[in-house]
Structure 1
């Protein structure tokens, strides 16, 4: 339980500290909000710290008669230039994942290493992304698996 609380505290501090650093007058700036599908399926947000560093997060929940869960992850991402394309960026990073489920009444916590690409639609504030995220859960049991997702965000700046 202590590990879960420390992980949650770290994610919260990471998300709230992004307000102190902000890149000005850049295409890669501001806050993007949107949706993500697959693992997880829910809400997605991304905040740019500089021209090539961003923090993203995803949140989802499911409620049913037999099972309910809440999912949260947050990653720090490094974006790199791509060859022959201003609209396409590659990224990689590292983050934390938490999953609260009532089937075992436990909290799963783990590390994520997302790798993906983000596409900027011309003359809009909309970006789409696709990523693969190798994940290592360390609590309550150790297990390794691959997650992945596709999504879209609109930037509010």
Structure 2
């Protein structure tokens, strides 16, 4: 498990959104944005309000990619890692409530508020295994943090 550096954690939180890439049994990629999330020292949690493509893909393949980018500074990061669904109800409720509270403090739109009131919500725990820079002036194919041999990561 890699530690998410404070600067990267703050960068993700400042952007307020990241994209999650998944693939399922059909090997067709799916990308979806996330604004309901929490970044801890070595995990990222997010809420899934729908049981659509990402949800089904994660059930079939727990490897996902997260990408966060600032278009003005041309700076960003990509994480690859494993996800799982939090099923312990007290833990799920604590994480869900903390994420909703923080998101509503930053965004007061009616759509966000209505979405946050949904009862059936999945809490997803992402454990990053590899981190890459997406900065165009850096080597984006060289990992900047890993707890695995990234050259072997996705080989069968």
**Which category describes the TM-score, using the shorter chain as reference length?**
0.3 to 0.5
Higher strand residue share:
1
Return the TM-score normalized by structure 2: 0.34
Question: Which structure has the highest helix share of the two?
Answer: 2
Higher relative contact order (CA 8 A, sep 6+): 2
